């Protein structure tokens, strides 16, 4: 009964956060204006800048930021017990993630849909902008390389998911053409697309698809990585309305359906927790709860990647400024709901404490088996509804693959945007060419995937993955810093962004120091070198923020009264 009560409590707090706190933020802090001309209208090009219905944009935004991270993070963090992870997911979503995602979307719309890194130049100076863009570029490179590996692994482990995933693409493109060329309302064809996707789940169970084992001597996973990076590059080059929007809208419905059946299975089956609330027997190789909890669960609480999506693709599609609250804050709330479902699935989806402890007997096992724990745990909850385990796990696997793939091509599109901004900064005009930037993005991702670890073709991104958590949260902290400075200049309340910034910056810096000491002890010079560089950039940018405040105060003092 406990997991059910926890779920109901989470629903209530999320609702209250949306109903009251987000409205307070919209009215008192960001002060949204219905008459403001958004970049989607000002620069409408039919490719990246497209005014979009807020429900459709919410679907794109939500599925882009969701990815697999809000599943993997809680599935690993439960090793410390479900209690600490629950508190961080709830409070982090309501008071930090919602403010951050909503704010980065609002400020980007107010700055011609520029990325948060580019906007930093106005409050921190041109030098800080270049530093911030470098961190963002590195973060996106890791996301692209690692998500391709995550999807490839799912395809290999769950071949039933392959056919539904690839057949979803022509369905989504057909819906896009119907909506934007035939002007058909999007909801009905998307519901038909969702019905077709569900039918494909059953087809996938009957017709699992696997690549031949190690074709041409190259591991099967490496082939899938190359295919996914190639697909991501092509998808990121297509007009946003043709594939990205309709597929994300279908996926949003799929996620709602998936969340509904997971929670329904929880309420019907009423399982007890298999995981302890506070794990008193944490494996010896697990790092300390504080500060690592706050970088292990990123998406699902707060994530710097969310700010990149908000100030990247979503800001270019926002139809009206008041829609920013719906898209930004409610997108973060949806992410919190997914993280809560993942936490409950890996806490109550096991047969008992012994089975749970068997899975979480080491930090390495928990880290490597996060997605599998969620898929199997959620599958067992679906079994409470009479859904056969094979169908249930396939449905959950497709859900995870769909979101990971959505994040992948959104991330590759974002990296193209960042390349263009870096090109403008340094006078490299060729980086503004869409086709060339897309090719460069693909080559960089493939280079990391296949060059960083020759002994593990395609999995090179995993070499740098230990840096993802801290780099991601560093980006979130810096985004909150930029947002705070903008609000301060406008004379608006800053306490609601400064406190989250201080908390995120402190925990992330602490975690980075912890990790650097561990890399030094392990003799991992690659991670130590790159991590130290990112750490130095972090401190440097925070100092730039302090200098920006001092400059602002000095300018205010010399202003005539």
Confidence of residue 484 (pLDDT cuts 50, 70, 90): very high
The per-residue pLDDT of the chain, averaged, comes to 89
Q: How far apart are CA 275 and CA 400, in angstroms?
A: 23
Mean pLDDT of 175-179: 83
Higher per-residue confidence, 215 vs 25: 25
Structural tokens at position 535: 């750490």
Residue 560 has pLDDT above 60, yes or no: no
The total number of residues written for the chain in this structure: 561
561 pLDDT higher than 50 = no
Is the per-residue pLDDT at 307 higher than 90?
A: yes
C-beta atoms surrounding 23 within 10 Å: 12
Nearest to 71 by CA among 466, 273, 344, 318: 344
Contact 240, 173 (CB under 8 A): no
**Cα–Cα distance measured from residue 477 to residue 485, given in angstroms and rounded to the nearest whole number:** 12
Tokens in use for 427? 């006078």
Positive or negative: CA dihedral 215, 219, 224, 225: negative
CA distance 326 to 98: 10
% the chain with pLDDT above 90: 47
pLDDT at 403 over 80: no
Give the contacts of 260 (CB within 8 A, at least 6 positions apart). none
User: Which one is predicted more confidently, 245 or 354?
Assistant: 354
Lowest mean pLDDT among 127-131, 137-141, 142-146, 509-513: 127-131
Count of beta carbons in the 10 Å neighbourhood of residue 393: 25
Q: Does residue 140 or residue 552 have the better pLDDT?
A: 140
Residue 188 has pLDDT above 80, yes or no: no
What are residue 52's phi and psi, to 5 degrees? -135, 140
Instruction: Quote the CA–CA distance of 3 and 273 in Å, as a whole number.
Output: 7
pLDDT average, residue stretch 80-105: 96
Average pLDDT (407-424) is: 86
Measured in whole angstroms, the distance separating CA 294 from the mean position of its chain's CA atoms is 15
The confidence score (pLDDT) of residue 1 equals: 57
By CB atoms closer than 10 A (0-12, 13-18, 19+), residue 436 is middle
Residue 156 has pLDDT above 80, yes or no: yes
pLDDT tens-place string over residues 113-134? 998 988 988 888 888 888 888 8
Is pLDDT of 68 > 80?
Answer: no
pTM: predicted TM-score of the whole model, two decimal places: 0.90
Residue by residue, DSSP assigns 337-372 as HHHHHHHHHHHHSSSSHHHHHHHTSSHHHHHHTHHH
Q: 390 vs 293, which has greater pLDDT?
A: 293
Q: Which of the pair, 452 or 504, is modelled with greater confidence? A: 504
């Amino acid at each position: 009964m406990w997991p059910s009560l926890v779920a109901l409590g989470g629903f209530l707090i999320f609702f209250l956060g949306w109903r009251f706190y987000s409205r307070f933020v919209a009215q008192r802090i960001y002060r949204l204006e219905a008459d403001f001309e958004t970049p989607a209208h000002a620069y409408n090009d039919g490719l990246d800048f497209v005014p979009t219905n807020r429900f459709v944009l919410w679907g794109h935004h939500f599925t882009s930021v969701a990815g697999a991270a809000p599943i993997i993070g809680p599935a690993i963090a439960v090793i410390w017990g479900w209690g600490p992870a629950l508190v961080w997911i709830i409070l982090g979503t309501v008071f930090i993630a919602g403010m951050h995602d909503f704010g980065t979307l609002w400020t980007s719309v107010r700055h011609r849909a520029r990325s948060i890194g580019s906007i930093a130049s106005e409050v921190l100076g041109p030098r800080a902008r270049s530093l911030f863009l470098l961190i963002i570029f590195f973060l996106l490179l890791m996301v692209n390389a690692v998500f391709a590996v995550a999807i490839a692994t799912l395809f290999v482990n769950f071949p039933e998911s392959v056919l539904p995933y690839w057949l979803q693409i022509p369905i989504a493109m057909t819906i896009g053409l119907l909506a934007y060329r035939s002007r058909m309302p999007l909801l009905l064809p998307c519901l038909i697309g969702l019905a077709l996707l569900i039918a494909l789940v059953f087809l996938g169970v009957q017709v699992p698809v696997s690549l031949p084992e190690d074709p041409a001597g190259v591991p099967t996973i490496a082939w899938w990585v190359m295919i996914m990076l190639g697909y991501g590059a092509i998808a990121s080059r297509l007009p946003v309305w043709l594939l990205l929007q309709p597929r994300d809208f279908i996926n949003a419905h799929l996620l709602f359906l998936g969340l509904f059946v997971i929670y329904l299975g929880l309420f019907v089956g009423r399982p007890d927790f298999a995981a302890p609330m506070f794990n008193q027997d944490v494996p010896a190789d697990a790092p300390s709860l504080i500060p690592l909890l706050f970088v292990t669960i990123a998406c699902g609480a707060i994530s710097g990647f969310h700010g990149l999506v908000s100030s990247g693709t979503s800001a270019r599609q926002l139809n009206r400024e008041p829609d920013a609250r719906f898209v930004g804050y409610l997108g973060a709330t949806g992410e919190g709901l997914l993280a809560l479902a993942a936490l409950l699935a890996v806490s109550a989806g096991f047969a008992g404490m012994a089975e749970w402890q068997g899975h979480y007997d080491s930090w390495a096992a928990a880290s490597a088996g996060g997605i599998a724990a969620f898929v199997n745990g959620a599958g067992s909850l679906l079994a409470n509804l009479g859904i056969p385990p094979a169908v249930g796990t396939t449905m959950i696997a497709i859900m995870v693959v769909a979101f990971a793939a959505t994040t992948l091509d959104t991330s590759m599109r974002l990296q193209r945007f960042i390349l263009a901004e870096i090109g403008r900064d340094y006078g490299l005009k060729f980086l503004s060419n869409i086709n060339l930037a897309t090719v460069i993005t693909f080559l960089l991702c493939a280079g990391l995937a296949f060059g960083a670890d020759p002994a593990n073709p395609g999995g090179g991104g995993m070499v740098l993955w230990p840096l993802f958590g801290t780099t991601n949260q560093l980006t979130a902290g810096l985004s909150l810093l930029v947002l705070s400075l903008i609000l301060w200049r406008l004379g608006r309340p800053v306490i609601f962004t400064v406190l989250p910034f201080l908390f995120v910056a402190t925990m992330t810096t602490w975690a980075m120091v912890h990790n650097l000491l561990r890399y030094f002890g392990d003799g991992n010079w690659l991670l130590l070198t790159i991590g130290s560089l990112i750490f130095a950039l972090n401190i440097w940018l925070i100092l730039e923020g302090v200098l920006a405040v001092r400059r602002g105060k000095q300018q205010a003092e010399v202003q005539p009264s």
